[in-house]
Chains A and B, each alone.
Chain A
């Protein structure tokens, strides 16, 4: 059912950067996905909320993320295009159908609140600036220009990042800076991450984590 969303234009293009293109071939079934998710809850939690682990490796919230985005990430982990020692073994256990199913399952959960947004007002203000208006003097394009209104995601290419854990966002931005994550289409994200200072990263991560998203679903 969620795969129907790909009809909305952006999703149609998924095949272009999905080297394999398998995600499109499999219709996800959220009910079957629930069973697959049994192995995931240890980290991503039963409600898909993940966990903010300051100073450690945070587990991202999966609840309410776009199904095709989730599927793409799982394929990328599986194929080694996205690398992470903790997560990769779990992706490798899944076949293409299970990937589609578990992605459908998480995408239908309501978005949960995030942690790590508890920082001083000045840092939050900088974060809001970057997320909504950018800092063009450093050629940092506003996050919302790609991640959509409210930074809640645009199509299947640009994931929702509002109400994601600060620790996870920070880790991802640093991974892009260090060329440890490079599975984004056309280096769209990497180009931006590399222009950010350490303080920019902390600021925008905290602000995004402090945002509440009311689920459309």
Chain B
């Protein structure tokens, strides 16, 4: 395949950022150069590299002022999701608690790929999902909440922000995306809970608290809780040990990515993912049933239902839903689509 070395034309060439490269190109955009100098892998030949526009680029952009206002609102919801507390959010998190740098950062689950790769099939719920549905998922699990309605103002604002971040990227790109998700380092031969605990106390507890409850000060979000009632629930992607290890290795301690060895990142992930958190919304009274249904696609990567060695506690075996309690059920979970559509193999 011929590699295209030119940068893809970005509509509105006046924009300082919002650059997409179809393939490896020299020199790297400054944002990627920073990461490479810090030790992140350089883009591989053929990878799609995209530097999403910043909020300053948005202000400078030649788009309808009303659209600008909606994207701004989406950004505000993304970085201060706590404003939906009690309505859609029932824990101490913002979207940006896991998607660092306002959802723009490679290796920190940049969110724009969803805007150009969906609709697509997702293993997690076994059907074709669009962008709103993907966002709704993070509400149901990561925010331990229930999503804003499809098509609602808040949902539109959030998806507009995601789409704006993807500005200039071709729809359904064929290339793999540079820095997508939370790529996990190589899994070491063995993992140590005790070492993970000691390292957590040494390097993480100063912000996230010894008991993992984070810091909420004067009614305001400061540091998110990696476990406990204020954290994401058992169904969230980050409870998978490899996803947690990838998040930690590439993003923590805050401001010092890649400062932990692979073994350290995995040990800490092993420790954190064996702490309690609100129940998986797919639970109907039996951990084993959840494992049977969602083990093969999801929980085989998590510690859900496992017995913790240090104290014999079976993880997830409880009816603690966190702040949302029993009554609030995320309406999107388990909602099927295209039930009667025939699929040719």
Binding site for B on A (CB under 8 A): 8-10, 12-13, 16-17, 129, 133-134, 136-139, 141, 145-146, 148-149, 154-155, 157, 185-188, 191-192, 216
> With contacts A136-B31, A137-B30, A185-B206 known, is A155 near B215, CB below 8 A?
yes
Q: Answer yes or no: B220 CB below 8 A from chain A CBs.
A: yes
What are the residues of chain B within 8 A of A187 when measuring CB–CB?
Answer: 256
A138 CA to B256 CA, complexed, in Å: 13
> With contacts A16-B206, A148-B217, A154-B222 known, is A137 near B56, CB below 8 A?
no
Q: Answer yes or no: B319 CB below 8 A from chain A CBs.
A: no
Q: Are A186 and B253 in contact (CB under 8 A)?
A: yes
A108 CA to B221 CA, complexed, in Å: 24
Q: Are B213 and A9 in contact (CB under 8 A)?
A: yes
What are the residues of chain A within 8 A of B188 when measuring CB–CB?
Answer: none
Chain A interface, >50% SS class? helix
> With contacts A13-B206, A137-B31 known, is A155 near B253, CB below 8 A?
no
Total CB contacts across the A-B interface at under 8 A: 79
A192 CA to B253 CA, complexed, in Å: 12
Q: Are B38 and A139 in contact (CB under 8 A)?
A: yes
> With contacts A10-B206, A155-B217, A186-B203 known, is A136 near B101, CB below 8 A?
yes
Q: Answer yes or no: B218 CB below 8 A from chain A CBs.
A: yes
What are the residues of chain A within 8 A of B222 when measuring CB–CB?
Answer: 148-149, 154-155
In the assembled complex, the CB of A65 is this many whole angstroms from the nearest CB of chain B, namely 15
Q: Answer yes or no: B151 CB below 8 A from chain A CBs.
A: no
Q: Answer yes or no: B254 CB below 8 A from chain A CBs.
A: yes
A154 CA to B218 CA, complexed, in Å: 10
What are the residues of chain B within 8 A of A17 when measuring CB–CB?
Answer: 206
What are the residues of chain B within 8 A of A139 when measuring CB–CB?
Answer: 34-35, 38, 255, 257
Q: Are B102 and A136 in contact (CB under 8 A)?
A: yes
What are the residues of chain A within 8 A of B51 when measuring CB–CB?
Answer: 137
In the assembled complex, the CB of B28 is this many whole angstroms from the nearest CB of chain A, namely 12
What are the residues of chain A within 8 A of B205 when measuring CB–CB?
Answer: 13, 16
18 additional contacts (CB under 8 A) given A136-B101, A136-B104, A149-B218: A9-B213, A133-B102, A136-B31, A136-B100, A138-B34, A139-B35, A139-B38, A139-B257, A145-B254, A146-B255, A148-B220, A154-B222, A154-B223, A186-B256, A188-B254, A188-B255, A188-B256, A191-B255
Q: Which residue of B lies closest to A147 (CB)?
A: B222
Within 245-300 of B, Cβ neighbours of A (below 8 Å) are at 253-257
Mark each residue of chain B from 85 to 125: 1 if its CB lies under 8 Å from any CB of chain A, else 0. 00000000000000011101100000000000000000000
Binding site for A on B (CB under 8 A): 17, 30-31, 34-35, 38, 51, 54-56, 100-102, 104-105, 201-203, 205-207, 209-210, 213, 215, 217-218, 220-223, 253-257
In the assembled complex, the CB of B219 is this many whole angstroms from the nearest CB of chain A, namely 9
Q: What are the 8 A-B residue pairs with the smallest beta carbon separation, nearest first?
A: A136-B101, A137-B31, A149-B220, A141-B255, A191-B255, A154-B222, A191-B256, A9-B209
A129 CA to B209 CA, complexed, in Å: 28
What are the residues of chain A within 8 A of B256 when measuring CB–CB?
Answer: 186-188, 191
Identify 30 residue pairs between A and B in the complex whose beta-carbon atoms are under 8 Å apart, listed by A's number: A8-B217, A9-B209, A9-B213, A10-B206, A10-B207, A13-B205, A16-B201, A129-B56, A136-B100, A136-B104, A136-B105, A137-B34, A137-B51, A138-B30, A141-B255, A146-B255, A149-B220, A149-B222, A154-B217, A154-B223, A155-B215, A155-B217, A155-B222, A157-B207, A186-B203, A186-B206, A186-B256, A187-B256, A188-B253, A188-B254
Q: Are A10 and B253 in contact (CB under 8 A)?
A: no
A185 CA to B256 CA, complexed, in Å: 13
What are the residues of chain B within 8 A of A138 when measuring CB–CB?
Answer: 30, 34
In the assembled complex, the CB of A114 is this many whole angstroms from the nearest CB of chain B, namely 21
A133 CA to B51 CA, complexed, in Å: 17
A192 CA to B38 CA, complexed, in Å: 13
What are the residues of chain A within 8 A of B210 when measuring CB–CB?
Answer: 12-13
Q: Which residue of A lies closest to B40 (CB)?
A: A139
Most A CB contacts (10 A, CB to CB) among B30, B213, B254 go to: B254
A153 CA to B216 CA, complexed, in Å: 12
What are the residues of chain A within 8 A of B215 when measuring CB–CB?
Answer: 9-10, 154-155
